[in-house]
Amino acid sequence: MDEVFRRLDDIREDLTALYKDLHAHPELSFQEHRTAAEVARRLEALGLEVTSGVGRTGVVGVLRNGTGPTVLLRADFDALPVLEQTGLDYASTQRATAADGSDVPVMHACGHDMHVTSLLGALDLLIAARSRWSGTVVAVFQPAEEIGAGARAMLDDGFLERFPRPDVCLGQHVFPFQSGFVGMMSGPSMSAADSVKITMFGRGGHGSQPQNAIDPVVMASATVMRLQTVVSREVSGDDTAVVTVGSIRAGTKENIIPDQAELLVNIRSFDERVRERVLAAVRRIVRAEAIASGAEREPEFEQLTRFPLLVNDPDATSRTTGALRAALGDHAVLDLPPAMASEDVGLFGSAAGVPTCYWFFGGTEPGRFQRALAEDRVAQEVPANHSPGFAPEIEPTLTTGVKALTAATLEWLA
């Protein structure tokens, strides 16, 4: 592996420049046209068979090298509506029009730029080392992971019929622990997630005459508080779930009682039975609070996103973990507990009926992480994914991402 990794010294500078460029030019879900064009250009330069526009903005590169297994490698490349506050000289200043028509700042606040760069680096190493392996690599650059729609869009666009069918699906995600390390999970690894928009209807009126109105602000507020009891009183202590109300919107002026209020609710779970129970409880509570407030119209529920439970196949994870330990060292491979974050990468494996193995790699400067850990202030001192301060330390994060993906792929193709 040392000989395979030696190629990194030749391409690290170019990969670093690519990463900074992608970080400075993030694009929202299904708007990743610049990113997709750059990915396609680089794949063509590497000599892969390239198909663009898969699932709207996705890109697929196929690398054939004789007979053997087919390994799917996946990197997502959409960004988030977040105003960057990292202070980096390559920080994003981009803005875009969101799906609801609003003007928003855009930032790679989840590290997808690092995912793309790592996969392109791994492909370069695999091409240079093609005498060491045999088979096919299908490199998937996926749009719209942040809204849980990109993998489904690519599959609906005939992905399994248009490209070599994989025998295993591999992927990785940068995370805010110490860079230079990777973290593995086996079995149920990342939660299922449901995002729901709830609209509750009242009757508008003058703020001085609440007796003539049905106040949706009070209705929604009571609902928010009641929803906090779902997990604490309806989910067993042996199970895990989270219910978060991330947004509440109502009204335009202090002396006007509005006629409706909107809640955005996020629900996470690791078990389908728990998932359905929590969803049913949320619907029941919302309807009950509307009735209690005298609402004259039923609340409305709109499903915004739905992420599947990610299950890492135990055998595939064990095999991949062994390869990563051999390549990076036993000390650099951690066993992690399941994460409440969500991912749609598992749809590729489940649709193809093949195992999935997905891991995390650290992105925080080692000294910073160790100081925060020693002071029990990791949550306060280390910016997490989706925060305006999140940006992976380029090195050794990039080197680790490239090495991990290369070593895992060679394990399945050598």
pLDDT, one tens digit per residue, over 356-365 is: 999 999 999 9
* Residue 27 marked ligand-binding: no
Cα 83 from Cα 107, distance rounded (Å) = 6
pLDDT, one tens digit per residue, over 163-206 is: 999 999 999 999 999 999 999 999 999 999 999 999 999 999 99
Q: What is the DSSP string of 223-280?
A: HHHHHTHHHHHHS-TTS-EEEEEEEEEE-SSTTEE-SEEEEEEEEEESSHHHHHHHHH
Q: What is the DSSP string of 332-384?
A: GEEE---BS---STHHHHHHHT--EEEEEEEEE-HHHHHHHHHTT-HHHHSPP
User: Hey, what are 251's tokens?
Assistant: 């009204």
How would you classify residue 342: left for phi > 0, otherwise alpha for psi between -120 and 50, otherwise beta?
Answer: beta
Q: Which of 60, 106, 99, 100 is nearest to 80 (CA)?
A: 106
Average pLDDT, the chain: 97
| CB-based burial label for 309 (10 Å; 0-12, 13-18, 19+) | buried
Read off the DSSP letter of residue 308: P
Q: Does domain 2-190+309-413 have CATH number 3.40.630.10?
A: yes
Coil, strand or helix: which one is 104?
strand
Q: Looking at the DSSP assignment, which residues form a beta bridge with residue 92? A: none
Q: Looking at the DSSP assignment, which residues form a beta bridge with residue 334? A: 183
pLDDT of residue 414: 85
* Residue 112 marked ligand-binding: yes
- Please identify every residue annotated as catalytic: 78, 145
Percent above pLDDT 70 for the chain = 100
Cα 38 from Cα 203, distance rounded (Å) = 52
Q: What is the torsion angle, in degrees rounded to the nearest 10, for the CA atoms of residue 392, residue 393, residue 398 and residue 399?
A: -150
> CATH class for domain 192-306?
alpha beta
Q: Residues spanned by CATH 3.30.70.360 within the chain?
A: 192-306
Q: Which of 200, 203, 240 is nearest to 223 (CA)?
A: 200
Cα 328 from Cα 325, distance rounded (Å) = 5
Pairing status of strand 70-76 against strand 192-201: unpaired
Q: Taking residues 54-71, report their average pLDDT.
A: 98
Cα 152 from Cα 307, distance rounded (Å) = 10
* Confidence bin at 154 (pLDDT 50/70/90): very high
Q: Taking residues 233-247, report their average pLDDT.
A: 95
Q: Looking at the DSSP assignment, which residues form a beta bridge with residue 60? A: 51, 140
Coil, strand or helix: which one is 4?
helix
The answer to whether residue 388 scores a pLDDT higher than 90 is yes
Coil, strand or helix: which one is 400?
helix
Q: Which of 356, 344, 341 is nearest to 390 (CA)?
A: 341
**Farthest CA pair distance, the chain:** 80
pLDDT of residue 169: 98
pLDDT of residue 264: 97
* Residue 331 marked ligand-binding: no
Cα 181 to chain centroid, rounded: 19
The answer to whether residue 145 scores a pLDDT higher than 90 is yes
| pTM for this model (two decimals) | 0.93
The answer to whether residue 370 scores a pLDDT higher than 90 is yes
* Residue 386 marked ligand-binding: yes
Residues 6+ apart with CB under 8 A from 9: none
Cα 309 from Cα 346, distance rounded (Å) = 8
Q: Looking at the DSSP assignment, which residues form a beta bridge with residue 193? A: 268, 307
User: Hey, what are 329's tokens?
Assistant: 């060292």
The answer to whether residue 43 scores a pLDDT higher than 90 is yes
Name the phi and psi angles at 76, rounded to 5: -95, 155
Residue 228 CB neighbours (<10 A): 12
Coil, strand or helix: which one is 59?
strand
The answer to whether residue 349 scores a pLDDT higher than 90 is yes
pLDDT of residue 1: 86
Q: Taking residues 390-409, report their average pLDDT.
A: 98
pLDDT, one tens digit per residue, over 281-333 is: 999 999 999 999 999 999 999 999 999 999 999 999 999 999 999 999 999 99
Q: Residues spanned by CATH 3.40.630.10 within the chain?
A: 2-190+309-413
Q: Taking residues 125-147, report their average pLDDT.
A: 97
Q: Looking at the DSSP assignment, which residues form a beta bridge with residue 261? A: 200, 250
